[in-house]
Amino acid sequence: MISETKVAEYKKILEAEKALLEAELQKIGVRDPSNPSDWVAAKATDDSFGADRNDNADIFEEMQDANATISKLEVRFQEVSDALAKIDAGTYGVCEISGTEIEADRLEANPAARTCKAHMNQPR
């Protein structure tokens, strides 16, 4: 069983990571107005589409790169948010597949781990 002290330590780490992830997402994207839990790439404020096809292509390429980065950050953001919700619900540190306790060294390496080592490569 994970001690309350250790859970509080993990919570602090997860909250700091969540804030960092959100700051990174805000640098390259905006929340999707039609789905506030989703992020989309934002066109730089000094970029405007015009007659030059090459300039427009560069803007689209930057937005594509931003979308790829956003996708990766969103996955981690959701994992961290889920772990924090589990802490609040009192179910933190329990494997989502087997229901067994997640190993301490696994949580040390990744406080947002959803599964024990035996199930760590299982799809969500």
Q: Is residue 32 part of a domain?
A: yes
pLDDT in tens, 4-61: 999 999 999 999 999 999 999 988 888 888 887 788 877 655 555 566 677 667 766 7
Report if residue 85 sits inside a domain. Answer: yes
pTM of the full structure: 0.80
Domain membership of residue 89 as a residue range: 4-93
**Is residue 119 assigned to a domain?**
no
| End-to-end C-alpha distance for the chain, whole angstroms | 24
Residue 104 lies in a domain: no
Q: How far apart are CA 112 and CA 104, in angstroms?
A: 12
Residues 41-52 pLDDT 10s: 776 555 555 666
- Mean pLDDT, the chain, rounded, equals 87
Closest CA to 81 of 14, 26, 32: 14
Whether 28 is in a domain gets the answer yes
